[in-house]
Amino acid sequence: MTSHDPAPTGPLSIALVSEHASPLAALGGVDAGGQNVHVARLAAALADRGHHVTVYTRRDSPGLERRVPLQAGVEVHHVPAGPPEQLPKDELLPHMPAFARYLEQEWRVRQPELVHSHFWMSGLASLEAAGSLRLPLLHTYHALGTVKRRHQKAADTSPPVRIGCETKVGLGCDRIVATCRDEVVELAGMGISADRVSIVPCGVDTQQFTPEGPVAARGPYPYRLLQLGRLVPRKGAEVSIAALARLPDAELVVVGGPAPERLDDDPEVRRLRGLAQDAGVADRVRLTGGIPRDQVAPLLRSADVVLCPADYEPFGIVPLEAMACGRPVVATAVGGQLDTVADPATGRLVPPRDPEALAGAVAELLADPDLRRACGEAGRRRVLGRYGWARVAAVTESLYGAVLTERYATTGVR
């Protein structure tokens, strides 16, 4: 073949690397959220297109099998790096050299055609392993250290080297797969040119998340507000609680966090309950704890308005899930929510940390059932047109093909 020949086509052998976010993990814990869903759904959707996908994630329990099938065409491979127990993701960096060595050994025997790493530590390990074997590497950050440090300041528990490592990965990989426009701007501020970046949004399962289907039981209040996600301060549950004090006919259901039987021992739960008590709304706030994935859509359908009031949000899958269920969304105008929530068509965007603005936007929607219905219908159309996993996988596949073609044109080898 000459350098003018196209890269070979057909099913690809793809390695997705997600060091802390296993597609098998239960959602709602401190380190289990949107990335877990993204990796699982992307792997499945790529397999549905005929590719063979292996997801490499850290072995965090002694009882895990080395290889676990997820579905036809997808296998989860548990990498022995560090102790086989759950560790906070911010404590995993010392184990990344072992993770990288394992990937390199594995890929020398079962070589993928390309690698797609997720989160900065996966990128660091993949850059080392893929680089030694000259494998094409794409990277998705899911969150950037510059943003986290800006918002959390001294409370940021990320390793001090994180931002430097993220820059190294961005400059060393073949292509960055950003999830929103805001991320491209942030990367430019890190010295990473936009011509190294392509935008592919996260997706949503439009068959699981639908307007029709089971609806969770409602409380005795005229209106239900729902917030869903990890129970960490940056997600803004305290802002929702403060806004509730201005919405006397509504209840607030906060979904996420530890298992229900461990709620009373959780410091963030105790803090939020105290804030609700101080605001005089404790009787209208319910914290459910983490729930099984199959209960999410029924809860979303039970809401009049879904709240997404995070201080910052690298992408945010919850607005898509709510819109797919035909529910209006009031979200903060940050990160990926600037792309996904169309104000005024599908809901409202408000400033972060502003309970008054949040309450005002919600009150407008609660006062007008026709407006809520119109926003919900527009949200469903928007999701179907842009964010279904089949479409996301197709765009990702085309990006893989472009990277392979570029590699082939340069080296003559795919």
The count of C-alpha atoms lying within 13 angstroms of the C-alpha of 234, restricted to the half-sphere facing its C-beta, is 18
Amino acid letter for position 129: A
User: Is the pLDDT score of 36 beyond 70?
Assistant: yes
160 class by beta-carbon count within 10 Å (0-12 exposed, 13-18 middle, 19+ buried): exposed
Question: Closest Cα to residue 143, out of 357, 331, 367, 317?
Answer: 317
pLDDT at residue 410, as a whole number: 74
Q: Are 25 and 19 in contact (CB under 8 A)?
A: no
| Residue in the structure block whose two tokens are 């089949």 | 390
pTM over 0.95: no
The one-letter amino acid at 10? G
Spatial neighbors of 398 by CB under 8 A, at least 6 apart, are: none
The mean of the pLDDT values for the chain is: 93
Q: Residue range 222-247: average pLDDT?
A: 96
Cα separation, 250 vs 220, whole angstroms:
9
Range 58-87 average pLDDT: 95
- Sheet containing 347-350: which strands, arranged edge to edge? 285-289, 250-255, 223-228, 305-308, 329-332, 347-350
pLDDT tens column, 100-116: 999 999 999 999 999 99
Contact by Cβ (8 Å): 348, 364: yes
How many Å is the Cα radius of gyration of the chain?
A: 22
Specify the 3-state DSSP secondary structure of 388: strand
Bond into 355 cis (ω within 30): no
As a dihedral over the C-alpha atoms of residue 241, residue 252, residue 326, residue 350, rounded to 10 degrees, the angle is -10
For 275-301, the pLDDT digits (tens) are 999 999 999 999 999 998 899 999 999
Q: Are strands 223-228 and 305-308 parallel, antiparallel or unpaired?
A: parallel
Structure tokens at 290: 């983490």
The single-letter code of the amino acid at 214 is: P
Q: What pLDDT, on a 0 to 100 scale, did the predictor assign at position 8?
A: 46
DSSP SS3 for 301: helix
Instruction: Give the Cα separation of 37 and 26 in Å (integer).
Output: 10
**Domains, in order of start, for the chain:** 13-203+388-411 (3.40.50.2000), 223-386 (3.40.50.2000)
Is the pLDDT at 34 greater than 90? The verdict is: no
- Using a 10 angstrom Cβ sphere, with 0-12 exposed, 13-18 middle and 19 or more buried, the burial of residue 29 is middle
